Structure 1
Amino acid sequence: MTTANLHPRLTVVGHPLVQHKLTLLRQRETSTGEFRRLAREISLLMAYEVTRDLPLETRRIETPLEPMDSPILSGKKLCFVSILRAGDGILEGMLDLVPSARVGHIGLYRDPTTLAPVEYYLKLPEDVRSRLAVVVDPMLATGHSAAAAVERVKQAGAEQISFACLLAAPEGLSIMAEAHPEVPVFTCAVDRCLDDHAYIRPGLGDAGDRLYGTK
């Protein structure tokens, strides 16, 4: 199955450094501190791809030698929206690249019986409607939390939205394609499937627990 069959606007970031660091991230023996560092490094590299099409304008500046017309980002910058809690594990790397970006948070947890997302927190910048909103979460597993988060960002008025994750499952991509086919999805890899507990296989385990050492 090609990526186009999984989601019409899917980008798999295949840069060798991203793939190398992802392999280290997956390993069972990777420590909490190392996992956190790798996730931050990968997300910074991913941010280059996520921001590739940001609009530019020209500004007149003075170099030490002479004036010139030089490109600079146009209009409002980015807003990163982290799906708590694991989303913060890749939020920080993206902020390393774009420190001026605004930040929003959406608190969602997965009901253990129905697997449906339940919202418990929402805080977004007031001007999110005039920014590119990048919703971030390490894993796109069932896709229900990601789709719900994107819907809440849409309800807040945002018209430019992307979604970024470290790993995706075909099932999650299918849900995102059905709910938000126009929203670009960026990931480092598309894994085989979900298991009976909605974990991505082969995956990397529970991203939140591995980021924060809670299991």
Structure 2
Amino acid sequence: MFDSQVHVVTHPLVQHKLTLARSQDTTTDNFRRLVREIAAMLAYEATRDLPTELVDVTTPVAACRMPILAGKKLCLVSILRAGNGMLDGMIDLLPNARVGHIGLYRDPATLEPVEYYFKVPDDMAERLVIVVDPMLATGNSAAAALTHLKRAGATSLKLVNLLAAPEGVRTVRAAHPDVPITLAAIDERLNDHGYIVPGLGDAGDRIFGTK
């Protein structure tokens, strides 16, 4: 359906936890935990191609040369507010990553993104930037976030989402064909209100218990 830059993680643990997160009966604390756990597994997949170099290590048994991460440093960028629900799980796996935030909300009438906050490290050109947001619905917010990050100097970007609608994937691929997308699932479609179907509802409200 989509090109090789769109990677859907079909691992049974990811799919199991995503199904639990979809249920309307899942409590706020369990939903929050599930998002964190899925985010960590998606981070594992999204960083599968990080470059390594060999270094000298002495184990209790012998001296050897073993791989360690090389190349660009990492920066995680959360699209507020729901993206913050994914940060902890990703930081668990990538504790040395810097963290940036982009505040965007979707205008309910036009479904277009409106920016209200932008704070990222100064050295974006020197980092691999992983943008996180649970839902890729229309794709407009993600595309706008990626545009702002490129203007801030980012040259190496990836996007990680829990769920996407086909419309959202197409929007991001058209605007940013150089940015790989890692997802747990691509659902059927968007409804008339711009929600993913079947989706899991409003991820921000479910993470923070505001509905």
TM normalised by structure 2 equals: 0.98
State the shift of 1:133 in Å: 0.2
1:120-171 residue CA offsets vs partner (Å, 9 max, x unmatched)? 1001111121111000000000000000001111111111100000000011
Partner Cα distance (1:62, 1:124) in 2 = 38
C-alpha RMSD of the superposition = 0.9
Determine the structure 1 residue equivalent to 2:93: 97
> Which of 106, 117, 120 is matched with 2:116 structurally?
120
> Which of 44, 47, 53 is matched with 2:49 structurally?
53
The count of residues paired between Structure 1 and Structure 2 equals 211
Establish whether residue 211 from structure 1 lines up as the match of residue 207 from structure 2. yes
TM normalised by structure 1 equals: 0.96
1:26-47 residue CA offsets vs partner (Å, 9 max, x unmatched)? 0010000000000000011111
Partner Cα distance (1:195, 1:97) in 2 = 34
> Which of 74, 79, 83 is matched with 1:78 structurally?
74
State the shift of 1:3 in Å: 2.9
Determine the structure 1 residue equivalent to 2:171: 175
Structure 2 counterparts to residues 8-19 of structure 1, below 5 A: 9-19=5-15
Identity of aligned residues (%): 61
The one-letter code matched in structure 1 to 2:79 is I
Establish whether residue 164 from structure 1 lines up as the match of residue 163 from structure 2. no
Q: 68-77 vs 117-126, which deviates more?
A: 68-77
Moved over 2 A (4+): none
Partner Cα distance (2:2, 2:125) in 1 = 29
Establish whether residue 200 from structure 1 lines up as the match of residue 196 from structure 2. yes
Task: Indicate the SS of the match to 2:7.
Answer: strand
Establish whether residue 135 from structure 1 lines up as the match of residue 131 from structure 2. yes
State the shift of 1:113 in Å: 1.1
State the shift of 1:65 in Å: 2.0
Task: Indicate the SS of the match to 2:109.
Answer: coil
Partner Cα distance (1:95, 1:128) in 2 = 18
Partner Cα distance (2:210, 2:109) in 1 = 22
The one-letter code matched in structure 2 to 1:97 is L
Task: Indicate the SS of the match to 1:29.
Answer: coil
Partner Cα distance (2:108, 2:27) in 1 = 27
State the shift of 1:77 in Å: 2.4
State the shift of 1:64 in Å: 1.4
State the shift of 1:111 in Å: 1.0
Determine the structure 2 residue equivalent to 1:67: 63
Provide structure 2 residue ranges, at least 5 long, that are not aligned to the other structure. Answer: none
Determine the structure 2 residue equivalent to 1:3: 2
Partner Cα distance (1:82, 1:29) in 2 = 26
Provide structure 1 residue ranges, at least 5 long, that are not aligned to the other structure. Answer: none
